[in-house]
Amino acid sequence: MTSPLLTIRGLRAAYGKIEALKGVDIEINPGEIVALIGANGAGKSTLMMTIFGKPRARAGQILYEGRDITDVPTHEIAHLRIAQSPEGRRIFPRMSVAENLQMGADATECTEAERDATLDRVFTLFPRLKERYAQRGGTLSGGEQQMLAIGRALMSRPRLLLLDEPSLGLAPLIARQIFDAIRVLNRQDGLTVLIVEQNANHALKLAHRGYVMVNGLITLAGTGAELLQRSEIRAAYLEGGRHG
């Protein structure tokens, strides 16, 4: 019915000779949360980075709102209202929380009123950031830094948000807060989210649909609930993880 917001077809990418993506096809519809799960080194983060043009795709297509963005320079992709909370958060440690957030808004054309409305929204989602707005980013706890990374991405008022391992290294309670915020953003603001996660259980419960990635290829696709029921997923990513 509706055309997908992001379509990836036969995407290949490599670091030197090592091919990280070997022909990936995924689709993300507007208003969806899509989870991408898989083991370490499966190419999940690479897929995310390739959408942003670093590394460049060797083959295949990335279509965003029907437009081919495969060869668009990295810094221009953010102007298309795709935002990213990168792996390892990558906040600006010596700049204050307020400045970090402002950085998210700087590169996009928006009025002051729009910016401040977005800022209010971010502070409603993550009240912790408002408390610490004058603090240096590097002095925040891991969970707060993750909130800041998401908040900074939101400041560009994206239509599509890419989240790379938002729960990495966080206490379960904090991780739950982050996932709750993502759910709220999706339900209330209609934000489309692609989330890469190791925490398959959480991610699949949150997501409408999910993809499983193994060695640079999508091996399984389905709704979040379906994937959670699959025995091979349970064995590989859920029970296996629980036993260490």
Asked if 54 interacts with other proteins (CB under 8 A), we say yes
Contact at 8 Å (CB) between 104 and 110? no
Asked if 84 interacts with other proteins (CB under 8 A), we say yes
Asked if 22 interacts with other proteins (CB under 8 A), we say no
User: What residue type is assigned to position 111 of the chain?
Assistant: T
Contact at 8 Å (CB) between 83 and 160? yes
Stretch that binds other proteins, among 34-42, 87-95, 167-175, 216-224 (CB under 8 A): 87-95
Asked if 127 interacts with other proteins (CB under 8 A), we say no
Name the residue nearer to other proteins (CB basis): 98 or 168. Answer: 98
Stretch that binds other proteins, among 24-32, 38-46, 115-123, 168-176 (CB under 8 A): 115-123
CA neighbor of 211 nearest in space, from 237, 242, 172: 237
Torsion of CA 184, 132, 79, 106, to 10 degrees: 150
Asked if 110 interacts with other proteins (CB under 8 A), we say no
Name the residue nearer to other proteins (CB basis): 68 or 106. Answer: 106
Name the residue nearer to other proteins (CB basis): 123 or 238. Answer: 123
Asked if 15 interacts with other proteins (CB under 8 A), we say no
Kindly state the number of chain residues that form the binding site for other proteins, as judged by CB under 8 A.
41
Write out the residues near other proteins by the rule CB under 8 A.
52, 54, 73-79, 84, 86, 90-96, 98-99, 101-104, 106-108, 112-117, 119-120, 130, 133-134, 136, 152, 156
